[in-house]
Amino acid sequence: MIIKTRSESAELMLLRSLSIRMSLSEKERSNFLNLEKGFKGEQQFDKWFETNFSNEGLILNDLLLESNNTIFQIDSLLITSDVVYLLEIKNYEGDFYRDGDRWCTLSGNEIKNPLLQLKRSESLFRRLLQDFGYKISVEANLIFINPEFFLYQAPLNPSIIFPSQLNRFMDKLNKKSTNLKDRHQKLAKHLVSIKLKDSPYTRLPDYCYDQLEKGISCGGCNTLMDDIDAKEEILECKKCGNKEDVPAAILRSVREFSMLFPDKKITTNTIYEWCKGIRTKRTLQRILSQNLNLIGFGRPSFYIFFQAKPD
């Protein structure tokens, strides 16, 4: 049973939007691509897990927690009756090698040692359980989800699950006899209640409104759509063919705008400029008034979403 679903981090969503609307430095771009790739891997893991896991268990995805004054991230947690599995998911692709504690791509670029990352999360998580008085064992696994990953000189370490071992790992989970009780539910709810929203350590590029390119982005290929004709009911991306209802595309753009500029007011004029290419303000006004709450009257009025976005 999924107790907490996965969603993109605020950092990834912001970087995705900025990457479409401004040029990122090489470092920012590589951070963005890493986050995007990591998220795709996690989604792939979720799909694989959902299809194959047939046992009883509580699943909590992407938890940002704090223990011992340190913030750490858990990609997936599976609570069974006697063991909590802490799963770190990696979407590495291509050939890598290990030299002692150093992990490198074959071209020689050193990456963060994922085993050390796993050990750190594991010990912080054990400490957290201990601090709250939970007595349950923890097993941490490093899961390489991408079938195109290969590691030369791999360590003999049973906590690593390589792509060719995924099926056997799942068999092991499915064969466990498990009997969930109230205390397991309590633990799951407790973890959700103490999770942090966003990491305070994310470093975003500097950006301002004037510098960003305006227009509606395509949800299919993450580029700005050219020559949109909002008189049609459907917007079609000329690059990838993705189709979206006009109201849905506009509301997505409004959410993007308010994510990038939480302090700016949503008005027909600002959104008209933001969604560059929409032919008439009338269309826009209709969509905004049907889907958002209008605050105030006349010129100083602005819109807000009916309710906060679920997280």
Under rule CB under 5 A, residue 216 binds Zn ion:
no
3-state secondary structure of 55: coil
CB nearer to Zn ion: pick between 183 and 239: 239
Stretch that binds Zn ion, among 92-100, 111-119, 215-223, 292-300 (CB under 5 A): 215-223
Q: Is 240 in the site for Zn ion (CB under 5 A)?
A: yes
Nearer to Zn ion, 170 or 218 (CB): 218
How near is the Cβ of 241 to Zn ion at its closest, in Å? 7
Q: Pick out residues in 218-237 that bind Zn ion (CB under 5 A).
A: 218, 220-221, 237
Backbone angles phi, psi at 50, to 5 degrees: -60, -40
Size of the residue set binding Zn ion (CB under 5 A) = 7
Question: What CA–CA distance (Å, rounded) separates 223 from 155?
Answer: 41
Q: Which stretch binds Zn ion (CB under 5 A): 97-105, 206-214, 216-224, 287-295?
A: 216-224
CB neighbours of residue 6 within 10 Å: 17
Residue 163 sits in the site that holds Zn ion (CB under 5 A): no
Q: Is 242 in the site for Zn ion (CB under 5 A)?
A: yes
Nearest 10 degrees: Cα torsion 49, 50, 53, 57: 100
CA-based diameter of the chain, in Å? 70
What is the DSSP annotation of 139-180?
EEEEEE--TTEEEET----TTEE-GGGHHHHHHHHHHS----
Distance in angstroms (rounded) separating the CA atoms of residues 43 and 70 = 26
- Neighbouring CB atoms inside 10 A of 282's CB total 10
Among candidate residues 121, 148, 138, 122, the one with its CA nearest the CA of residue 41: 148
The encoded tokens of residue 250 equal 């506009």
Stretch that binds Zn ion, among 6-14, 170-178, 241-249, 282-290 (CB under 5 A): 241-249
Alpha carbons 215 and 225: distance in angstroms, whole number: 7
Find tokens 């969503």 and name the residue.
Answer: 13
279 binds Zn ion (CB under 5 A): no
Span interacting with Zn ion, options 50-58, 105-113, 147-155, 242-250, rule CB under 5 A: 242-250
* CB 249 to Zn ion: min, Å: 11
Q: How far is the CB of 223 from Zn ion (least distance, A)?
A: 6
Binding mask 174-203 for Zn ion (x = CB under 5 A): ------------------------------
CA 67 to chain centre: 22
Question: Which of 120/238 has CB closer to Zn ion?
Answer: 238
CB 233, min distance to Zn ion, A? 18
How far apart are CB 212 and Zn ion at their closest, in Å? 19
Nearer to Zn ion, 95 or 232 (CB): 232
- Looking up tokens 């054990």, which residue turns up? 126
DSSP letters, 70-87, are EEEEEEEEEE-SSEEEEE
Chain centroid, CA 177 distance in Å? 32
Residues within window 4-23 making contact with Zn ion, judged by CB under 5 A: none
Nearest-approach distance from CB 217 to Zn ion, in angstroms? 8
Does position 239 interact with Zn ion (CB under 5 A)? The reply is: yes
Residues that bind Zn ion (CB under 5 A): 218, 220-221, 237, 239-240, 242
